[in-house]
Amino acid sequence: MSPSAETRRNGAYQHKDRSNLIPFSSRLKEGRALAQDVWSIFNAANLPADCINLGQGYMNFPPPEWVKEAAGEALNQVATNHYSHPRGRIRLRQALKEHYSPELGRDLDVESEILVTSGANEGQYSVFVAFLEQGDEVIMFEPFFDQYLPSVTFNGGVPVYVPLHPPKHDGAHSSSEWTIDFDELRRAVSPRTKMIIVNTPHNPVGKVFTRHELEQIAAIAEEHNLLVMSDEVYDSLVFDDNQHVRIATLPGMWDRTVTVGSAGKMFAATGWRVGWLIGPASIIQPTLAATTRIVFCSNSPLQEATAVGVEQAKKRGFLRQQRDEYAERRAILTAGFDKLGMKYTNPQGSYFVLLDISSVKWPEDYPFPQSVEGRGRDFKACWFIAMEVGVSSIPVSEFYCEAHTPIGENYARFAFCKDVDTLKHAVERLQKLKQFLA
């Protein structure tokens, strides 16, 4: 043993504690990155072996066969097994141009206005790297996608939280009834505000922001010269004839908006980690400089397979068919909640349902693990449901700042991106909740 690892005291050597020699960055604390997060608490390893996972938002079914075949073909070629251009493979950028140009009302430039990233999350992170200075404020609507927080703080940003307000009436309600207090939003803007994140369709609420709501956000962004990150990864999952409005299409907004997309959500391929950013060259070019230094380039064969998917999706009627299949899954899950007589949010988009679990009761002496103590009431409710009913979900207070935890702790997030049989089985199990309702 090295002498530096020991100290001599009273003639005897004693070991030094060498477990934390090098201090880590404070940014890890500021972004909750070191805290035991909801995903590790509600990990399958901690739950009963037969627990049905409706917590995490990944599918238990594969991408469409023709997209998988394209991936196999790409792996059997030479060029697609090597580095791609940091901007992304030209075939994929061209496919994205053809897909999004009509929706954005402009002829996109594949060289300066489209950037392929290693998943939507890495693309967002690269935008923060490219544009945030120390102390810049970023407004995010609560509940927020949990990756926003560390991505902002790691890059010197300061999160500013504006909650969506849930409806107060009893019974099921639409995600459209979660509302923005625009006076509250205006008060959140300060001289240090640099950016606002808009997530539509929204995770976890399922809200599809209306044109009027987006116009009011756009007016604030224009007035205060804010960059808008529009996270639209669920854009292909909008139900009931609701209209998905892209904020980049509103007057004056193209020049200050970056739109985020995801192959994982579009093609049930969350592990592929292929995403994209679309925006003006003034946003895309600095972000390209950042992403080139973070990952250099994204997965080449799966970019090529994604290109085939985007090229053929509309021709095959795939996006419409997929949307209808998700609508069926949503109906199975919500019918189960209706049968229980529980209040929930019916989503206009995405693949999540928020269940009001404020009426769920458990014995005072129930043996909860230490990991859920001191958290929102929803952590205990979700743990209890997983252990006693056998269906896991995610406590929504995880997606709020501490001050706004009381809003989120009434809800659990259930994902319906599962096959029909799994959802039907889960609904059967959930009927056991009746005995635990006040």
pLDDT of residue 13: 62
Helix axes 119-131, 281-294, angle to 10 degrees: 110
Share of the chain above pLDDT 70, in %: 97
Assigned token pair, 156? 């010197």
- Dihedral sign for Cα 338, 344, 346, 347, please: negative
pLDDT of residue 28: 79
Half-sphere exposure of 397 toward its Cβ, with a 13 Å CA cutoff?
Answer: 21
Assigned token pair, 38? 């909801």
Report DSSP letters for 421-434, one per residue. Answer: HHHHHHHHHHGGGG
Q: In whole angstroms, how large is the CA radius of gyration of the chain?
A: 23
DSSP three-state, residue 407: helix
The structure tokens 């209040």 sit at 343
Checking if the pLDDT of 2 tops 60, the result is no
Checking if the pLDDT of 32 tops 80, the result is no
Assigned token pair, 2? 């090295």
Please report which confidence band the pLDDT of residue 217 belongs to, taking 50, 70 and 90 as the band edges. very high
Q: Dihedrals φ, ψ of 239, to 5°?
A: -105, 165
Assigned token pair, 207? 């809200």
The counts of H helices and E strands in the chain are 15, 16
Assigned token pair, 288? 């390209």
Question: Which is more confidently placed, 45 or 191?
Answer: 191
pLDDT of residue 357: 96
Checking if the pLDDT of 27 tops 90, the result is no
Q: How far is CA 348 from the centre of its chain?
A: 16
Please report which confidence band the pLDDT of residue 4 belongs to, taking 50, 70 and 90 as the band edges. low
pTM of this structure: 0.93
Q: Dihedrals φ, ψ of 92, to 5°?
A: -70, -45
Using CA atoms of 322, 326, 329, 330 in order, give the dihedral in degrees to the nearest 10: -160
pLDDT of residue 9: 63
Assigned token pair, 316? 């095959």
Q: Which residues is 394 bridged to in the sheet?
A: 413
Helix axes 318-340, 420-430, angle to 10 degrees: 10
| 266-309 per-position pLDDT tens digit | 999 999 999 999 999 999 999 999 999 999 999 999 999 999 99
Question: Which is more confidently placed, 38 or 119?
Answer: 119
Share of the chain above pLDDT 90, in %: 86
| 111-137 per-position pLDDT tens digit | 999 999 999 999 999 999 999 999 999
Rounded to an integer, what distance in angstroms lies between the CA atom of residue 48 and that of residue 241?
Answer: 39
**What's the whole-number mean pLDDT along residues 370-384?**
94
Longest dimension (CA), the chain: 82
pLDDT of residue 16: 78
Mean pLDDT across the chain, nearest whole number?
94
CB 366 within 8 A of CB 384: yes
DSSP state of 62: P
| 69-116 per-position pLDDT tens digit | 999 999 999 999 999 999 999 999 999 999 999 999 999 999 999 999
**What's the whole-number mean pLDDT along residues 172-198?**
97
Q: Of 403, 398, 401, 263, whose CA–CA distance to 319 is shortest?
A: 263
Secondary-structure percent of the chain, ordered helix, strand, coil, rounded to 5: 45, 15, 40
Using CA atoms of 103, 105, 109, 110 in order, give the dihedral in degrees to the nearest 10: 10
Question: By mean pLDDT, which of 32-46, 56-70, 191-205, 280-294 is the weakest?
Answer: 32-46
Rounded to an integer, what distance in angstroms lies between the CA atom of residue 276 and that of residue 232?
Answer: 11
Assigned token pair, 436? 């635990």
H/E element holding 15? strand 12-15
Rounded to an integer, what distance in angstroms lies between the CA atom of residue 74 and that of residue 150?
Answer: 34
Report DSSP letters for 358-396, one per residue. Answer: TTB---TT----GGGTTS-HHHHHHHHHHHHTSEE-EEG
pLDDT of residue 11: 63
pLDDT of residue 3: 53
